[in-house]
Amino acid sequence: MKNIRNFCIIAHIDHGKSTLADRLLQTTHTISDREMMDQVLDDMDLEREKGITIKSHAIQINHKHKGEEYILNLIDTPGHVDFSYEVSRALAACEGALLLVDATQGIQAQTISNLYLAIDNDLEIIPVINKIDMDGAMIEEVKDQIIELIGCKPEEILLASGRTGIGVDAILEAIIDRIPAPKGKEDAPLQALIFDSVFNSFRGIIVYFRIVNGVLKKGDKVKFVSTNQEYEADEVGILKLGLEARKEVKTGDVGYIITGIKNAKEVKVGDTITNALNPTQEIIKGFQEVKPMVFAGIFPVNTDEFEELRDCMDKLQLNDASLTFELETSQALGFGFRCGFLGLLHMEIIQERLEREFNQTVITTVPNVSFIAYTTKGEKIIVNNPSEMPDAVKTDRIEEPFIKAQIITKPEYIGNIMTLCLSKRGILINQSYLTQTRVELVFEMPLTEIVFDFYDKLKSQTRGYASFDYHPIGYREADIVKMDILLNNDKVDALSALIHRGKGQEFGRKLCEKLKELVPRQQFQIAIQAAIGAKILARENISAMRKDVTAKCYGGDISRKRKLLEKQKEGKKRMRQIGNVEVPQEAFLAVLKLDE
Amino acid sequence: MSGIYLHIPFCKQACSYCNFHFTTSLHYKNDLLKALVKETELEKEYLGKEPVETIYFGGGTPSLLSSIEIGSLLEAVYRNFSIDPGAEITLESNPDDITKEKLQGWKSAGINRLSIGVQSFFEEELKWMNRAHNARQAREGLELATTLFNNITMDLIYGSPLLTDEMWKHNVDTAIDLGISHLSCYALTVEERTPLQKMIQLQQRKDVDNDKQARQFLLLMQWLKEKGYEHYEVSNFAKPGYRSRHNSSYWKGASYLGVGPSAHSYNGKERKWNIANNNIYIKSINEGQPKRETEVLTEENKINEHIMISLRTMEGLDLETVNRIWGNLQMKRLEAQLERYIQAGFAIKEHSLVKLTNEGMLRADGIAADLFN
């Protein structure tokens, strides 16, 4: 156990985490050059494209140092704000962390929030400045930032380049020398922390864990404490590039267990695994049920594909337990699902996975956060869907979730960010200079304001020089109303949105304008209206198509024309008919594109 | 009932809007005519034993041919098919080709119906379209034709950027005053790969205005109705008894044989079309292996075509016919989907017949596409 080191890498997206991880694996011959693909740890297509590690993974590195064999377990962490709980559990499985900062970019908000999480978990931090070989490297400045942030000595900061391999040996040495070996009792009852799981279509759920106390042997009867379910350990082992089965995994080590679990819901990140016959009395602290933050409807484009979609959602949930969903019936869209996501990115990922992996074309509706409505009778209603909002006359008050938002940027963008955040009902809590050229702004903001178009605006207002992170900080009272959209006087439930009353007028106007753009001209005039209650706030008209007939239809024209119209008909199948209006798929998310 | 179409792919000059298959070179005219004769022989079984009731010379500009050439083509048709004694035999012609001698020649060759491509009686518009004739020829050609032919149809184009509503009225009135019993009126359409499309792209020409086209179409329907013309298909109007039997047969799903490059044929099951290239056409016909493509129509294709075509006609879509051929489910489906168009005043229903109103005619494509399977 004294030769085990468990560590992770804290870094902002694009700061070179995956490249450095590759280099560590290569240098230690954990994988051969032949096995080497770029960024081996990101093995989902989507992850590689988006450049984000969505699911955390782990890999064991064997390294000889000063004549001794060491086991270094690298636990990879997801790098996006939507996944902060998963990050915290991965950190809890480690004793140390590499704090990786891009020499050309400096510290970003997300790095800081994950760093705080690491410090909260008592991790030993090894600061590493990466990409020092790049032209724009500002090594001294970034050093100052790091020192200011964690109070280390300048000589404790390592310099590296994942691309060329500079500094990789020093990093390995620091991991062994500075990160403490795990503590724990091998003879104590089993206590293992689940920090991740993946779904394998042949073997079921593969659970990744870190053993805090005790030993886990193949064939053991184990119990997952939070779910109180018992299983037999069909296979246990350690994680190399693939799975390597072992007879047992001991205290301090990182490994996997396969028990034949088919449903990801039974495996909760942060849960404790113990021995069913000799259970631990203590659960590992920090476990939380993952709570979805953003809700939206997902509907099949064709109503008759509902059953197929249900099947795909079930399968998707098997390997993504953070996705929640329940049946939703919409007057406009028929049967579908109300889904809960960790955040907007998570929502996007789910939609893309449905399309790519499951070949499902879906309509995603306006996302909203989870509000709490208190009725005049004193009932408390959780509102995850505009249709669940009680009548205004029966509502005593409504509360909305707030977040603490952390933004790090250059001083010249402070003004823009202030304007943006204040327009999003933000309250400035703190402003501090990390260095002369980096400012941290802390706001308290309603989560619902982030959901719509915050990221894109933040990016454009700061030319990309702002990083953002957030944490929920509870509920506050707010004047939230339901805005309905009417197409030719019919309310379209799937286009309703829950918004702050003060924004109603502007929001309604923009939404109507956007819908006018997205809904094509049709045979009939279309009136688009935005309303709160009975009050119409905005209206746009799409005039009817005046002429839609080809002049000639003789012998040679018939086939050509039929094919043309058949193609038109196919195009219409990607639209939903609501009343006599055909609404294209993308119109249902118009609300996210108001300023494009 | 069946028909034969002969495609004569030659023109004096290229109209800017035309996307039909033609050439302005007469170099291979004789070879092509021989190939047309040969194709009628090759295809003599195509229409089975059905008597041919209509023959149609289209193009291109068939009036470029001499009456002897027309006569020999007709002779080949008569030799290989059984032609109904009362058959309608139409020749498309351009006003500038019309002379007394030619008219007499066509008549003695057996032509009994003339289709004249007038398009407009305004000089500036004819120039704009790059037509081969001028305004004077348009009027004189027509006047001359009426002295020898009683069954005459003429083409008019509306909705071009130059045509005001007053000019449009003048064109239509002129045709009516000359006693023309059949009119085909087409909205100027910017087709792919035409000089017109190119010029619009390069902003050398104004694009067509859809609202104006709609307006002029509605005016046209109103004017011709007042003068006793039946609006029997989207673009076709006739005094009682003067409908084009040949074109009507396309819309009734009758069989037809198309002879010549780019010509289409249909026998109730499959559609085939010859290659739109004169040289390859001639060569392949001479080798006895006509170069063409074939499409076998599925039931879905057939019902879609039926919907598309019948809605364009005055008779409309007969739901009973749909019920008889494609079954009750299809009929019910159409009935339900048509409801909103009836409500909107785009269609009316009389018993099992669904007919488009004038407003509906304006949108016949969109409505048909919507009703497709």
| pLDDT tens, residue by residue, A115-167 | 888 888 899 999 999 999 999 899 999 999 899 888 899 999 999 998 888 99
CATH number, residue A570: 3.30.70.2570
| Domain shared by A26 and A148, yes or no | yes
A548 touching B (Cβ < 8 Å): yes
Confidence of residue A111 (pLDDT cuts 50, 70, 90): confident
- Compare all CA atoms of chain B with the CA of A567 and give the residue at the minimum distance: B369
pLDDT at A224: 95
Q: Is the N-terminal amide bond of B60 cis, ω within 30° of 0?
A: yes
pLDDT at B49: 86
Q: Give the number of domains in chain A.
A: 5
Phi and psi for A167 in degrees, rounded to 5?
Answer: 85, -5
The size of the A-B interface in CB pairs under 8 A is: 106
| Domain shared by A359 and A377, yes or no | no
User: Is the pLDDT confidence value at A98 over 70?
Assistant: yes
- Compare all CA atoms of chain A with the CA of B190 and give the residue at the minimum distance: A550
| Domain shared by A133 and A226, yes or no | no
Min mean pLDDT across A2-6, A49-53, B71-75, B350-354 is at A49-53
User: Is the pLDDT confidence value at A241 over 80?
Assistant: no
**Cα A65 vs. chain centroid, distance in angstroms?**
38
The answer to the question of residue A70 being in a domain is yes
CATH number, residue A449: 3.30.70.240
Check whether A131 is labelled as a binding-site residue.
yes
User: Is the pLDDT confidence value at A274 over 70?
Assistant: yes
Between these two residues, A594 and A64, which has the higher pLDDT value? Answer: A64
| Domain shared by A225 and A322, yes or no | no
User: Is the pLDDT confidence value at A527 over 80?
Assistant: yes
pLDDT at A86: 81
| Domain shared by A377 and A442, yes or no | yes
| Domain shared by A59 and A152, yes or no | yes
Beta strands, E only, A191-315 = 191-200, 204-213, 216-217, 221-224, 229-232, 235-239, 243-246, 248-249, 254-258, 272-275, 294-300
Min mean pLDDT across A88-102, A306-320, A391-405 is at A306-320
CATH number, residue A206: 2.40.30.10
**Residue A337 domain boundaries:** 294-365
**What average pLDDT does the segment A30-43 reach?**
61
pLDDT at A469: 81
Q: What percent of chain A has pLDDT over 70?
A: 95
The answer to the question of residue A54 being in a domain is yes
What are the tens digits of pLDDT across the range A410-442? 899 999 999 999 999 999 999 998 878 889 999
| Domain shared by A449 and A319, yes or no | no
**What average pLDDT does the segment B63-76 reach?**
96
The answer to the question of residue A226 being in a domain is yes
Among partner residues A522, A545, A561, which is closest to B308 by beta-carbon distance?
A: A561
**Cα B128 vs. chain centroid, distance in angstroms?**
22
Confidence of residue A381 (pLDDT cuts 50, 70, 90): very high
| Domain shared by A316 and A254, yes or no | no
pLDDT at A51: 42
| Domain shared by A15 and A153, yes or no | yes
Residue A319 zone, left/alpha/beta (φ > 0; ψ -120 to 50; rest):
alpha
User: Is the pLDDT confidence value at B245 over 90?
Assistant: yes
User: Is the pLDDT confidence value at A40 over 80?
Assistant: no
Question: End of a domain among A478, A498, A527?
Answer: A478
Of the segments A269-278, A309-318, A358-367, which one has the largest average pLDDT value?
A269-278
Confidence of residue A53 (pLDDT cuts 50, 70, 90): very low
Residues of B numbered 5-34 whose beta carbons fall under 8 angstroms of chain A's beta carbons: which are they?
5
Domains of chain B: 2-250 (3.20.20.70), 299-371 (1.10.10)
- Token duo for residue A544: 């009817």
pLDDT at B147: 95
| Domain shared by A60 and A140, yes or no | yes
pLDDT at A150: 87
The answer to the question of residue A285 being in a domain is no
| Domain shared by A392 and A442, yes or no | yes
| Domain shared by A361 and A386, yes or no | no
The answer to the question of residue A86 being in a domain is yes
User: Is the pLDDT confidence value at B288 over 90?
Assistant: yes
Confidence of residue A43 (pLDDT cuts 50, 70, 90): low
A49 touching B (Cβ < 8 Å): no
Min mean pLDDT across A174-188, A331-345, B250-264, B342-356 is at A331-345
Q: What percent of chain B has pLDDT over 90?
A: 96
The answer to the question of residue A517 being in a domain is yes
User: Is the pLDDT confidence value at A54 over 70?
Assistant: no
CB distance A240 to A35 below 8 Å: no
CB distance A371 to A480 below 8 Å: yes
Q: What percent of chain A has pLDDT over 90?
A: 54
**What average pLDDT does the segment A236-249 reach?**
91
The answer to the question of residue A282 being in a domain is no
**Cα B280 vs. chain centroid, distance in angstroms?**
25
Check whether A14 is labelled as a binding-site residue.
yes
User: Is the pLDDT confidence value at A513 over 50?
Assistant: yes
| Cβ-based contacts of A549 with chain B (< 8 Å) | 187, 234, 312, 361-365
pLDDT at A81: 63
What is the four-CA torsion angle of A458, A461, A464, A470, rounded to 10 degrees? Answer: -20
CATH number, residue A110: 3.40.50.300
Q: Look up the ipTM and state it.
A: 0.94
Question: End of a domain among A365, A398, A425?
Answer: A365
Question: What's the rounded Cα separation, in Å, for the pair B92 and B113?
Answer: 9
Question: What's the rounded Cα separation, in Å, for the pair A537 and A513?
Answer: 12
Measured over the CA atoms of residue A364, residue A365, residue A366 and residue A367, the dihedral's sign is negative
Confidence of residue A389 (pLDDT cuts 50, 70, 90): very high
Residue from B370, B371, B373 to probe the interface with A (highest A Cβ count within 10 Å): B370
The answer to the question of residue A387 being in a domain is yes
User: Is the pLDDT confidence value at A47 over 60?
Assistant: no
Which residue has 């799975």 as its token pair?
A: A243
pTM: 0.69
Question: End of a domain among A114, A143, A178?
Answer: A178
User: Is the pLDDT confidence value at A286 over 90?
Assistant: no
A521 touching B (Cβ < 8 Å): no
What are the tens digits of pLDDT across the range B187-217? 999 999 999 999 999 999 999 999 999 999 9
pLDDT at A36: 63
Min mean pLDDT across A95-104, A215-224, A539-548, A587-596 is at A587-596
| Cβ-based contacts of B211 with chain A (< 8 Å) | 546-547
